[in-house]
Amino acid sequence: MTELTFSPGLEGIIAGETAISTIEGDLLYRGYSVEDLARQASFEETAFLLLYGELPTAGELAALRGRWCDDAERVPHEVLEALRLLPTTAPMMDVMRTTASLLGHWDRTAETDPRLANRRRAERLLAQMPVVLAAAFRLRRGWEIVPPRGDLGHAANILWMLHGTEPPANWAEVFDDSLIMYAEHEFNASTFTTRVVASTLSDLYSAIVAGIGALKGPLHGGANERVLEILQAIGSADRAEAWARAALARKEKVMGFGHRVYKDGDPRAKYLKPLCAELAAGAGPEELERIAEIIERVLWDEKRIPPNLDWPTARLYHAMNLPVELYTPLFVVSRIAGWSAHVCEQLENNRLIRPRSRYIGPSARPLVGR
Ligand code: COA
């Protein structure tokens, strides 16, 4: 047999081609830097860009907003009722996984062109998953479900459905930025998972459900929840340095730091960092910001490890009074854009993804005496 390349964790392996995003140097979505998109575009426009390849014209954006409003209002009542049957202790990521799958049973996509059909399915998931998330979150607290509002942008609408009050404009803007930053990231573990599922010619819902499962782990999307738990457990700035040094001495991975690809810093974390201080100012979590600053310094001084996107995002969500259990699910409601774009791209030039393994088990042996 010819010698095949083996790289644990597929590190350094090019596993496919994509025109959706690159992380070489800066992070670009279809050629645009995420910083420019965050400054000048909305999450809706970014999702359109990822799904259709170009930013929408004014007419296309208005049509997209109309479709998303209709979709958000039409979450099947069976799905909302099913939420009441789930254990209130179920992790929210499990609720997301289950409801993404359930929504597939009520797929009413009428498009006959399969490429358009999957993009419409993706749009519907992008519009409906936040409604489901907010409903699940409120129901388990015994609160009334807050229906979506057609007059609010996507980010403001999510905060409205969760809190039941209209968010301050700066919260909606920063939240929109965080959704843009979470929307897409090349061949990360969950996106690769969705492409593997799509490559078998399975359906979009199956791919998204598998992606949610992969994102749940603390080495991937789950890190944003661990970040806040750590900051809250440390509690005060005078304990932060000792905590960070002890964690490094124990060779523990500090959640929200490090990245398989960005070794000099995650551009998304750099963009969001100043917004953390802005949002925290006068709003209560300044102590958390002081703790974060010290941990960041120790990790850089001791090991040259910079923070990743989850480090600022967890603090931003906390400053917006969002409870920890929502952080990874909010990553999902954004990343559906990137996952779906990858499913569409995979299907447009498909080859079954089927790598090989290196066998390290026993050599061939006879089965005797049974
Ligand atoms: N905290 C402390 N040390 C870390 C670290 C972290 N978060 N991330 C990496 N390191 C250290 C490793 O211990 C290792 O040190 P050593 O050379 O002294 O043994 C070195 O940096 C290289 O780490 P490695 O595990 O090979 O990097 P990786 O590319 O496999 O890991 C992650 C990437 C993301 C899995 C890893 O950084 C991590 O677990 N981070 C925390 C989870 C997280 O925030 N995930 C979200 C990613 S966006």
Q: What confidence tens digit (pLDDT) does each residue in 314-348 have?
A: 999 999 999 999 999 999 999 999 999 999 999 99
Quick one: tokens of 159? 């905060």
CA of 220 to the centre of ligand 1 (A): 11
**36 classed as catalytic:** no
CA of 229 to the centre of ligand 1 (A): 18
* Structure confidence by residue, pLDDT tens digits, 43-55: 999 999 999 999 9
Q: What is the Cα–Cα distance from 121 to 60, expressed in whole angstroms? A: 17
Find the radius of gyration of the CA atoms of the chain. 21
CA of 258 to the centre of ligand 1 (A): 5
Reported as a pLDDT band with limits 50, 70 and 90, residue 1 is: low
What is the overall mean pLDDT for the chain?
A: 95
CA of 253 to the centre of ligand 1 (A): 6
Q: Which atom of ligand 1 is nearest to the CA of 258?
A: 37
pLDDT given for residue 251 in this prediction: 95
Q: Which atom of ligand 1 is nearest to the CA of 257?
A: 7
Q: Using CA positions, which residue lies closest to atom 29 of ligand 1?
A: 260
- Is 184 in contact with 335 (CB distance < 8 Å)? yes
DSSP 213-239: HHHTSTTTTTHHHHHHHHHHHH-SHHH
CA of 369 to the centre of ligand 1 (A): 49
Q: What is the Cα–Cα distance from 148 to 279, expressed in whole angstroms? A: 25
pLDDT given for residue 283 in this prediction: 66
Using a cut of 0.85, tell me whether the model's pTM lies above it.
Answer: yes
State yes or no: pLDDT of 28 exceeds 90. Answer: yes
**310 classed as catalytic:** yes
State whether residue 250 is helix, strand or coil.
Answer: coil
Question: What single-letter amino acid sits at 57?
Answer: T
- DSSP class of 255: T
* Structure confidence by residue, pLDDT tens digits, 130-189: 999 999 999 999 999 999 999 999 999 999 999 999 999 999 999 999 999 999 999 999
State yes or no: pLDDT of 118 exceeds 80. Answer: yes
Query: Which of 188, 255, 257, 311 to mutate for ligand 1's pocket (most ligand atoms within 8 Å of CB)?
Result: 257
Query: Which of 23, 259, 308, 310 to mutate for ligand 1's pocket (most ligand atoms within 8 Å of CB)?
Result: 259
| Greatest pairwise CA separation for the chain in angstroms | 77
pLDDT given for residue 120 in this prediction: 96
Map tokens 């596993």 to a residue.
15
Q: Which CATH superfamily is domain 223-319 in?
A: Cytochrome P450-Terp, domain 2 (1.10.230.10)
Q: Which atom of ligand 1 is nearest to the CA of 261?
A: 29
pLDDT given for residue 2 in this prediction: 67
Q: Using CA positions, which residue lies closest to atom 8 of ligand 1?
A: 258
CA of 259 to the centre of ligand 1 (A): 6
State yes or no: pLDDT of 202 exceeds 80. Answer: yes
Return phi, psi of residue 74, to 5°: -110, 35
216: left (phi over 0), alpha (psi -120 to 50) or beta: alpha
Ligand 1 binding residues, C-beta < 6 A: 219, 223, 253-260, 303, 305, 308-310
Average pLDDT over residues 105-111: 87
Catalytic residue among 71, 176, 266, 310: 310
Catalytic residue among 163, 203, 220, 259: 259
- DSSP class of 27: -
pLDDT given for residue 121 in this prediction: 97
- Is 185 in contact with 27 (CB distance < 8 Å)? yes
State yes or no: pLDDT of 67 exceeds 60. Answer: yes
Which CATH number applies to 17-168+184-216+329-348: 1.10.580.10, 3.90.1150.10, 3.40.50.1470, 3.40.50.300?
1.10.580.10
Domains of the chain, by residue range, sit at 17-168+184-216+329-348, 223-319
DSSP 148-161: --TTS-HHHHHHHH
